[in-house]
Amino acid sequence: MRRSGTSIMGILNVTPDSFSDGGLWLDRDAAVRHAVGMVDRGADIIDVGGESTRPGSSRVPISEEQRRVLPVVRDLVDRGITVSVDTMNASTAEAALKAGASIVNDVSGGLADPDMDDVILNSDARFVVMHWRGHADSMDDLARYRDVVGEVVGAIELRAAELIVKGMAPERLILDPGLGFAKKSGHNWTLLGHLDRLVALGPPVLIGASRKRFVGELVPGGAQTSERDFASAVLAALAASQGVWGVRVHDVSSTAAALDVAAAVERGRTGQP
């Protein structure tokens, strides 16, 4: 955990088609080396995903997702690394947990697969409840809101309550507003400007804005996703200042530096050593 108190979740996409780094880490050994490097640079958690959820992407067979993900999860756990699995499939989540993962990061918040709740409830894993309205091939058409903050916070609160009623311990939940998922640029910025509403619900909050399209719109040359890292790091520091538990990022080095700067400023403000 960073000195700011905000955890860094390093993104490891073992996919051929993720929007930023698709194909770079398909090789198992390359994926593991990259993950170890992210930990060395300050990542607290590695989030391993085998299915792209970029806008317009198609689902992949569960068997292929597991072929990509599970060997990497095992290798990282064997190295003592805290692993999160990024999946909407209950069987993949279950297999990853058996392989040693300790967090399930489901971009649908458990809504895409009716068996996901049982998998989580029958484990001791933490579960990311993300705001979700539909799969990647249709989510841009679902970006319609009258009050984006109220609707997103309300939907996440309801989903968390459903899980708690089923027996989930509240401390195992992590909330995520789902930036970029069924949201236009203005919706994302409005949510980021009102993170206090989500933080006020109580459970830890995870923010995943790294290299996303709405960030790139602010950056000269932002069509190249790697050009978005500086802005993504600034955004991570601003989110940390609003009390979020974690940030999910591609570039760990710039994020760690930004969080350390934010923490130093806060220490100066409060007079702490």
166 flagged as catalytic: no
212 flagged as catalytic: yes
> Is the separation of the CB atoms in 24 and 258 below 8 Å?
no
Q: How confident is the model at residue 56 (pLDDT cuts 50, 70, 90)?
A: low
> Is the separation of the CB atoms in 18 and 259 below 8 Å?
no
Name the CA radius of gyration of the chain, rounded. Answer: 17
Residue 206 has pLDDT above 90, yes or no: yes
Mean pLDDT of the chain: 90
- The full DSSP string for 174-218 is EEE--TTSS--HHHHHHHHHTHHHHHTTSS-BEE--TT-HHHHTT
Q: What's the pLDDT at 141?
A: 79
Q: What's the pLDDT at 4?
A: 61
Question: Residue 94 has which token pair?
Answer: 């279950």
Q: What average pLDDT score do residues 82-105 get?
A: 97
Question: Residue 126 has which token pair?
Answer: 């933490």
pLDDT in tens, 143-159: 899 999 999 999 999 99
Residue 2 has pLDDT above 90, yes or no: no
Q: What's the pLDDT at 96?
A: 98
Q: What's the pLDDT at 92?
A: 97
> How many degrees, rounded to 5, is the angle at CA 22 between CA 131 and CA 84?
50
pLDDT in tens, 57-75: 567 899 999 999 999 999 9
Q: How far apart are CA 255 and CA 155, in angstroms?
A: 29
Q: What's the pLDDT at 55?
A: 63
> Pick the catalytic residue: 228, 248, 267, 269?
248
Q: How far apart are CA 86 and CA 264, in angstroms?
A: 32
Query: Would the pTM count as exceeding 0.85?
Result: yes
Residue 231 has pLDDT above 80, yes or no: yes
Q: How confident is the model at residue 221 (pLDDT cuts 50, 70, 90)?
A: low
Question: Residue 250 has which token pair?
Answer: 């591609």
> Pick the catalytic residue: 68, 133, 212, 228?
212
> Is the separation of the CB atoms in 258 and 43 below 8 Å?
no
CB atoms within 10 A of CB 204: 20
Q: What average pLDDT score do residues 230-249 get?
A: 95
